[in-house]
Chains A and B, each alone.
Chain A
Amino acid sequence: MDRWFDARPVSVSKSRRFVEEATADLAPDVREAIVLMVSELATNALVHATSGFEVRIERDATTVRTTVTDNGEGTPSLSFPGEADPHGRGLRVVQELSDEWGTLDDPDAPGKAVWFVVDVSPERGPETRSGLLARIRAWGSRRRNPDRAPDRPPVDDRAE
């Protein structure tokens, strides 16, 4: 399911409501993480691309794939702000809370998409905060191990 949101600040909270509805059956911690990541990507679309944006949610039994597409300028890039720097943390939140993420950029058209995937396999069991933090650490090591990297669609990895 997908929905387009106009280039207005209130669209960010509207996109959160949309995602909450689309993930209402998931464990609260997982759902909150997905909603937070969408809020970050929607904000980036408004601030950096000065664009409206589309939020698309694709689900199967084990994964939730969320894509936020804008039609403005700019290429997402992960930054490493110091503790006193107020800005530059949106994509870090996505990196930390997703299993996979990346960007899709059509060189012949304006705009780009940023996507992330969250594994919602039932065998993971009830989510706890400490469990999620443990998973975040595990994901970090998995990302650094190319032999275990799952298949990905074509991705512009410059953002990583």
Chain B
Amino acid sequence: MVEVDGGGNARMTATVESPDSVTVILEGELDIASVELIRRGIEPYLADSPQHVVFDLARLQFMDSSGIALLIEVSNRVGSVQIRNATPIVRRVLEVTGLADALGVTD
């Protein structure tokens, strides 16, 4: 388990669940100021080409399209992504951009 403080207002914690699966917990506010360090924090976990990445967003208080961009970048590089526990405002940005299905949003 590795924690990365994303500068801005975001933090991440990544856990390798199995050789094929990584869980990433995002906290705080994901925007243009915080997304780059989170991107760098996730990068090592993508180098091993996991099949499945789960984002737990229960403690992510805010995300705009800068965060959406990161989620799509990850989605493009792994077999599948799943988004769990999105807060109402985060879920709304996923829905209005039409990405809730593509990014595997579940309760």
Do A and B originate from a single complex? yes
* A interface list, Cβ under 8 A from B: 9-10, 12-13, 16, 29, 32-33, 35-36, 39-40, 43, 46-47, 83-87, 89-90, 92-93, 96-97, 129, 132-133, 136
Could you list 11 further interchain pairs (A-B, Cβ under 8 angstroms) beyond the known A83-B98, A93-B93?
A13-B33, A35-B62, A36-B93, A39-B62, A43-B31, A47-B32, A86-B68, A87-B69, A89-B65, A89-B68, A92-B96
Interface assignment of B9: CB less than 8 Å from any CB of chain A: yes
Beyond A92-B96, A93-B93, whether A43 also contacts B9 by CB under 8 A is no
A90 to B29, CA, bound (A): 16
Q: Are the CB atoms of A89 and B76 closer together than 8 Å?
A: no
Contact of B65 among A40, A129, A136 (CB under 8 A): A40
Closest Cβ neighbor of B102 among chain A residues: A83
- Residues on the A chain within 8 Å of B76, using CB: 84, 86
Interface size of B in residues (CB-CB distance below 8 Å): 27
- From residue 2 to 29 of chain B, which have CB atoms closer than 8 A to chain A? 8-9, 29
Q: Give the CA-CA distance A89 to B31 in the complex, in Å.
A: 13
Q: What is the number of contacts between chain A and chain B, taking CB atoms within 8 Å?
A: 77
B66 at the interface (CB under 8 A from A): yes
Whether B73 is near chain A, meaning CB under 8 Å from some CB there, is yes
Q: Is B64 part of the contact surface with A, judged by Cβ < 8 Å?
A: yes
> How far is B64's CA from A10's CA once the two chains are assembled, in angstroms?
14
Q: Which chain B residue shows the least CB distance to A8?
A: B33
Residues of B within 8 A of A39 (CB): 31, 62, 64
- CB contacts (< 8 Å) of B93 on chain A: these are 36, 93
Q: Which DSSP category, helix, strand, loop or mixed, fits chain A's interface?
A: helix
Mark interface residues in B78-102 (1 if CB within 8 Å of A CB, else 0). 0000000000110011011111001
Residues of A close to B9: CB separation below 8 A: 13
- Check B64 against A43 for contact (C-beta < 8 Å): yes
Leading 6 A-B pairs by shortest Cβ distance: A9-B33, A86-B69, A96-B96, A89-B65, A86-B72, A83-B102
Q: Which of B33, B66, B89, B95 is the one whose CB lies under 8 Å from A10?
A: B33
Cβ-defined contact, A89 with B8, below 8 A: no
Q: Is the CB of B99 within 8 A of A83?
A: yes
Please tell me if the beta carbons of A129 and B64 are within 8 angstroms of each other in the complex.
no
